[in-house]
Structure 1
């Protein structure tokens, strides 16, 4: 959704959940790839982009998807990582990273300036350009196990607990 607010010509969503891919299309993705239904999502990205993506946001927390994100990138690409499983390590081809001048950047909580970003997001939401409510599924705190289950299954993008 945020990428569609930029000047990006192409926004490619990759997921294993068809419902999330459909939502990605509704929220601005120009292309989708069902990683569970294709033999080689890296090749699919390279074909769509004519050689590799210039910017990638890896948010799954899946080490295999992280490696695929690196492999699907063009020379000079930036790979931003926001999902990270605790206690897992990923093997990367250091020669590819160096020779292709790729940059891997970790991002915690958006790496933003909150007093600038939050008013901007509120303005975009008010203008109907950032429908964040489409990503949120609310649960009363008493249904915390249900929230965890839909998060694990991928049924909900962002389960939120409330009192």
Structure 2
């Protein structure tokens, strides 16, 4: 029996790594007839806790920027022939939302996530979302490191 992925989750954050994951996820969803592609952007609310003049306008601005990006991704996926594609904007700790909350809620069987853009010091201090997701996710995880031709990509 061939493995069929029916519920694919792709975290996107505007990075080149996330763009690659999105592109490959569209290709995988097209090969797995009837699959659903769900994009998620997680607004890390912890980042706003340290701002003394916390303002909901900041969160709203980040949300609007994410919505614009996600709308473009949805249009692109539909242009490439996908019908079952949607997105959500979530709030909280990206690691937990991506690895646990969303997969359980959506019955995700595959997470396609971009390789981390952090350097070794940043990973040590704040940790890698990708690393956490690969260790703790409740479903299969594919870490995207190459383009659609499987050629290594230099991240800018």
TM-score range relative to shorter protein: 0.3 to 0.5
Higher helix share goes to which structure?
2
Which structure is larger by alpha-carbon Rg, 1 or 2?
A: 1
TM-score by length of 1: 0.36
Q: Relative contact order (alpha carbons < 8 A, sep ≥ 6): 1 or 2 greater?
A: 2
